Amino acid sequence: MGKYDPLRRYLKKQKVETLELSFAEIELILRAMLPKGASLPEWWADGVERTSRQVQRDAWRSAGFHARLIIGKDRVRFERRR
């Protein structure tokens, strides 16, 4: 089981098109702290490069969502992919 699997499972259960979660809420779902890099937009943004740092993106992508950091609010907006 990967660190971000609980987030994937949580998002898969959602029926809404868009939802926002605070860092604290995400950490409760994960039962772990987010890394410092999570405060950077690129940590959440879809990218074409493949690195080990992107394991978190697989969680929301496989649940059918895009993620975007809401800068200055420690919140993330998840939007269902079309």
Who has greater pLDDT, 68 or 1? 68
Task: Please give the model's pTM, rounded to 2 decimal places.
Answer: 0.89
CB-based contact 27:39 (threshold 8 Å): no
Model pLDDT for residues 36-46, shown as the tens digit of each residue:
999 999 999 87
**Closest residue by Cα to residue 12 from 56, 64, 67:** 64
Indicate the range of 8-12, 46-50, 74-78 predicted with least confidence: 46-50
**What confidence category does residue 53 fall into, taking pLDDT thresholds of 50, 70 and 90?**
low
Residue 20 · residue 70 · CB < 8 Å:
yes
pLDDT for the residue 35: 95
